[in-house]
């Protein structure tokens, strides 16, 4: 928390192929050890593979997969009088995008025994179709928020 006023959010630069800031953020999250070119190649390969399998435009596959994985509500812990409640709150658009990226990449990395482009293509294709691990994570998050709806009045 800065002492002198609010810090403005910086807008990221769009990627070179699709001109999308979301793709650029996805590649940055996928990147390990500062190797952007490796991450970009793996991501674009994954989009091509997923696009071929689904007979759809690669960028459209990415966009629909991201939309399907983005959560609408989540639970945040809130301490009230010595007890900690899981309070359901709406997810801001930017955080929803970050969570979707994180979930897709983490579940793609958890599948072992094949190249990252193939694993990422499978996870994106599953998310596009509305199934798979990242979609299950979103559904679990929504179920948790629904179960704790009684504590919604503790929202701050």
Q: Is residue 76 part of a domain?
A: yes
Q: How much is the mean pLDDT over the chain?
A: 94
Confidence of residue 79 (pLDDT cuts 50, 70, 90): very high
**Confidence bin at 9 (pLDDT 50/70/90):** confident
User: 6 lies in a domain?
Assistant: no
Q: Is residue 7 part of a domain?
A: no
For 85-133, the pLDDT digits (tens) are 999 999 999 999 999 999 999 999 999 999 999 999 999 999 999 999 9
Number of domains observed in the structure of the chain: 1
Distance CA 73, CA 15 (A): 29
At residue 156, does pLDDT exceed 80? no
């Amino acid at each position: 928390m800065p002492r002198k006023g609010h810090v403005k959010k910086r807008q990221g630069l769009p990627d070179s192929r699709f001109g999308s800031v979301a793709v650029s953020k996805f590649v940055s999250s996928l990147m390990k050890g500062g190797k952007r070119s490796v991450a970009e190649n793996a991501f674009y390969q994954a989009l091509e593979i997923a696009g071929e399998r689904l007979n759809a435009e690669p960028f459209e596959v990415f966009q629909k997969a991201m939309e399907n994985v983005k959560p609408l509500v989540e639970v945040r812990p809130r301490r009230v009088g010595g007890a900690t409640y899981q309070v359901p709150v709406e997810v801001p658009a930017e955080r929803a995008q970050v969570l979707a990226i994180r979930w897709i990449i983490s579940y793609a990395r958890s599948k072992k025994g094949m190249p990252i482009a193939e694993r990422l293509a499978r996870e994106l294709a599953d998310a596009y179709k509305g199934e798979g691990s990242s979609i299950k994570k979103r559904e679990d998050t929504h179920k948790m928020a629904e179960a704790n709806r009684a504590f919604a009045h503790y929202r701050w």
